[in-house]
Structure 1
Amino acid sequence: MEAGRDTEELRSLILAAGGSAEQIASTVTRVGPDRVAAILVDELVHRAELGTIPQLAERPITVSFDFSFEGKVFAHAVTSSGTRTEPAPAGEEAPHARVELDLVQVNRAVFGPPGARHGTDRRIHWRDFEDQQALAGNMHVVPVVQHLLSGLEDQPIDLAGLSLRSGSDKWGLHYYTPHYERHFRPLRDRPLTILELGIGGYDDPAAGGGSLRMWKRFFPRALIYGVDVFDKAPLAEQRIVTVRGDQSDPAFLESLVTDIGPVDIIIDDGSHYCPDVTTALRTLFPHLVSGGLYVIEDLQTSYWPAYGGSSERLNEPTTTMGLLKQLLDGLNHEEYEPAGHHEPTEFDRTLTGAHFYHNLAFLEKGRNAEGSLPGWIGRERPA
């Protein structure tokens, strides 16, 4: 799997952002201040959603971020036309705006927990501030800078709207985003590893990835891994890693989670073929961290014969819903009679909760060992 070094750099910056200024500075020194500056600019551009500023299509704007660290300045300029933002070519004219920032403070604001995203010093220099005519022609530089700096603050996000802007079908074709908000929002500001099976776009390498981009925006401190049977390398970007592989192959899945480490959230939006879904669940759920969530989308295929489902054998464990129903009994395995005659499975011991919605299920991982009711409570029904 590629992008190992970049991923570790990002992980170290995210973890350091929750610590002291000294910890952040040490990490910046190890990664390299110029490299850190580039990472932070990339993140601010991603969060800015500059495509909502229509004037950029006709008059692109260049903004320079000047980061100070240990007495030196590390400058990174970007030029945006709205739909595309990229590093400004060297030797171009002076940027329309130059923003002076402290590198340690910005790393804390971008990758730190909510309480750390306040008090970021900044000074803005406007190129045409004294030239009224020139400023009038580029007045949209003001909202551009505002959007670029918005990533330094806590921002409310409407997941349904974000889904539409990102190109994800989790709202519109489906209506999953309200349920995702309910279960994911408490985890939003944690340093997470998220794995989604299925990237979308079929065999077109440049198509799909909407959900990965949505999760990247929604979880500001997360590393996002996407798996697909087709090569989706062109969709990789900062904090998004694409992996080619088949969810029906347990050996591949085992090697994947070994490579990326403990996983906090797993989302199965892959083939939706029941044997693939059940294979992935049996293989990956044991690798989910305690307190993690496993999500399965598009459960309608559990009733479609072409996908290995059935509308007649509703409790058949070879179908996705049949297996999930079976697992629900395991939540109460300590109540089975007679006591001691059931050897609990891995799912019995670690599935602690389940939430079902139309075509969507959330499974909670933890330690299911509360114990049964005391023996003096009779197991026989009173006459």
Structure 2
Amino acid sequence: MTIQRAHEEILKLILAAEGGAEQIEAAIREVGPERTAHILADELVNRADLHEIPGQDAAPVDIQLALAFDGATVGHVIRAGKSAEHEAGRAEEPHATIEADLAELLRAVLGPWRAPEAQVLRIVWHDLENTERLGGTMHVFPVVKRLVRGTTGRHEDLGELSLRQGSDKWGLHFYTPHYERHFGPLRDRPLKILELGIGGYGNPASGGGSLRMWKRFFPRAVIYGVDVFDKAPLREQRIHTIEGDLSDEGFLQSLGRDLGPFDIVIDDASHGNSDLIAAFKSLFPYVRPGGLFAAEDLQTSYWPGYGGSSRELSSPATSMGFLKTLLDGLNHEEREHPEGHEPSQTDLTLTGAHFYPSLAVFEKGVNAEGASASWIPRQKMSYEEMSAVDWGEGLTADHADEDGGQ
């Protein structure tokens, strides 16, 4: 199965999980009950952090999923040992069975956080009367508890996820509190997220901590990671890696054209000033209205080795100098422009800018509130001058001068 088809399937299930029973059941039939069970099992395993439970190396446990759909039962086995694995079928002697309705489990796992938890969920413990077998597999209880936890809509702290998944966004940097503020309201939605830069340099199996962090923080999102090195071994459900040169404008354009539009774009790539500027120019047009573009490691704007400068702070060739030029666009309707001037597409769509140490977050929308009324003076007036003006019926000097003359 291709990565694109796998993403299309899970997106279909994510969107269906917001709807009613008929929509959910139709999506399951289209994707297939067995494939749906596989997707849900993978999500539960990913959210469970089973590696943190001691005892599994010596005594693996099998958890049987028995999922009812269309009058039949779909079987899927989760095996918790040195690593957590899962596959279709039935275990010969499972240590526990989780019985659920497949459609309700889909809603609980991939639906909005406020969706009802799986209503038909029953746990059967098979070894309660077999004390000899149970004695060596007591860890089956926390294993099942953590698997079921994935259906409860538990919000996880982004800083904690950064540490657990190996991301440098908290610890080396302290971005996660700012990301919580801006990304938190979106985490319940079906999203498409693009992060530039995966980490780990030339080692194909190294890096990806931030991609895994975003996957956990956004349980209904598809995550795309881009790096100049091949990072295919880091691919997993809802995470797709792409190899490409981010200094190539044509490649940047292809990302937006072929994969966009995106809800969130995060630039954590080379940190070179020219690369960041090119990434913003190429990809901000492919951010959806209501979406966000985040630029990290802006400290390099002051480092000559990355194309920055600590002397020419407003140079548009540096990342901070370029980003500063965007701020005037927020108020493009109030500026005095030369005749024939047309606002840029960024002027018309940039609706917010937030700056933090080494980080900036930009909001995308429609920037067309309209200029201030023409009768509002464009020059500061004294009280005497204001008193001499005929403001017209219903208007006062206080209304005309919103600063109250201060």
How high is the TM-score relative to the length of structure 2? 0.91
* Partner residue in 2 for 1:41: 41
Q: In structure 1, the residue corresponding to 2:135 is in which secondary structure?
A: helix
Cα distance, 1:344–1:97 mapped onto 2, change above 3 Å: same
Residue 396 of structure 2 corresponds to which residue in structure 1?
Answer: none
Q: In the alignment, what sits opposite 1:334?
A: 333
Please state if 1:358 is matched with 2:357.
yes
Give the conservation status (yes or no) of the 8 Å contact 1:96–1:126.
Answer: yes
Residue 23 of structure 2 corresponds to residue 23 of structure 1: yes
Cα pair 1:229 1:246 within 8 Å, conserved = yes
- Given the alignment of the two structures, is residue 264 of structure 1 paired with residue 245 of structure 2, yes or no? no
Q: Structure 1 counterpart of 2:146, which letter?
A: H
Any conservation in 2 of the 1:117–1:152 contact (CA below 8 Å)?
Answer: no
Give the SS at the match of 2:352.
strand
Match for 1:80: what amino acid? A
Deviations 1:167-211 (A, max 9, x none): 101011111111111111100000000000000000000000000
Instruction: Determine the structure 1 residue equivalent to 2:130.
Output: 131
> How far 1:62 sits from its partner (Å)?
1.3
Q: CA offsets, 1:317-337, max 9 Å, x none?
A: 111100100000111111112
Within 5 Å, which residues of 2 pair with 1:61-100? Answer: 61-81=61-81, 84-87=83-86, 93-100=92-99
Q: Give the CA deviation at 1:101.
A: 1.1
How far off its partner does 1:67 sit? 1.0
Give the fraction of aligned pairs with identical amino acids, expressed as a percent.
Answer: 57
Q: How does 1:1-383 map to 2 (within 5 A)?
A: 3-81=3-81, 84-87=83-86, 93-337=92-336, 342-383=341-382
CA contact (8 A) 1:336 1:342 kept: no
CA deviations over 1:9-67 (Å, ceiling 9, x no partner):
01100000000111111111011110110010001000111122122233222111111
Q: Which amino acid aligns with 1:268?
A: D
Tell me how far apart the structure 2 counterparts of residues 308 and 74 of structure 1 sit (CA, whole Å).
57
Are 2:267 and 2:294, in contact at CA under 8 Å, matched by a contact in 1? yes
User: How far has the Cα of 1:88 moved from its partner?
Assistant: 6.1
Secondary structure, in 3 states, of the residue corresponding to 1:116?
coil
1:211 aligned partner, one-letter code? S
Q: Which residue of 1 aligns with 2:394?
A: none
Conserved in 2, the CA contact under 8 Å of 1:117 and 1:154?
no
Q: CA deviation at 1:338?
A: 5.2
For the residue of structure 2 that corresponds to 1:152, the secondary structure is: coil
Q: Residues 158, 64 of structure 1: CA spacing in aligned structure 2 closer, same or farther, 3 A cutoff? A: same
Q: 2:77 touches 2:89 (CA, 8 Å); kept in 1?
A: no
Q: Following the alignment from structure 1 to structure 2, what is the Cα–Cα distance between the partners of residues 31 and 257?
A: 27
Change (3 A) 1:359 1:212: same
One-letter code aligned to 2:111: G
Distance in 1, Cα, partners of 2:37 & 2:118: 19
Return the alpha-carbon distance in structure 1 between the equivalents of residues 190 and 88 of structure 2: 34
In 2, the alpha carbon distance for the partners of 1:98 and 1:338 equals 70
How big is the shift at 1:119?
Answer: 4.4
Q: Which residue of 1 aligns with 2:403?
A: none
State the AA in 2 paired with 1:154.
G
Contact in 1 for aligned 2:105/2:118 (Cα 8 Å)? no
Name the CA distance, whole Å, in 2 between partners of 1:32 and 1:351.
Answer: 42
Give the drift of 1:341: 5.3
SS at match of 2:74: strand
What is the CA deviation profile of residues 130-152 of structure 1, one whole-angstrom value per residue up to 9, with x for unaligned ones? 11232232111111001001110
Distance in 2, Cα, partners of 1:372 & 1:90: 65
Structure 1 residues 49 and 91, CA, compared in 2 at 3 Å: closer, same or farther?
Answer: closer
User: Cα 1:39–1:91, aligned 2, differ >3 Å: closer, same or farther?
Assistant: closer
Partners of 1:180 and 1:90 in 2: CA distance = 41
Structure 2: any 5+ residue segments left out of the alignment? 383-406
Question: How many angstroms apart in 2 are the aligned matches of 1:338 and 1:93?
Answer: 77
Select between 88-97 and 110-119 the one with higher mean Cα deviation: 88-97
Q: 2: distance between equivalents of 1:117 and 1:230?
A: 42
1:103-137 CA deviation, whole Å, 9 max, x = no partner? 10111111111222324311212121111232232
Q: TM-score, normalised by structure 1?
A: 0.96
Query: Letter of the aligned partner of 1:275 in structure 2?
Result: S
Higher alpha-carbon deviation: 170-179 or 58-67: 58-67
Q: Distance in 1 between matches of 2:288 and 2:89?
A: 46
Question: In 1, distance between residues paired with 2:123 and 2:258?
Answer: 42
- Partners of 1:133 and 1:196 in 2: CA distance: 50
**Whole-Å separation in 2 of the counterparts to 1:60 and 1:297:** 42
SS in 2 for 1:75: strand
Q: How many residues align?
A: 381
Q: Please say which of residues 14-23 and 115-124 is displaced more in the overlay.
A: 115-124
Q: Is the 8 A contact 2:64 2:90 kept in 1?
A: no
Residues 89/257 of structure 1: CA separation in 2 closer, same or farther (3 Å cut): closer
SS in 2 for 1:205: coil
- Give, in whole Å, the separation in 1 of the partners of 2:126 and 2:278: 59
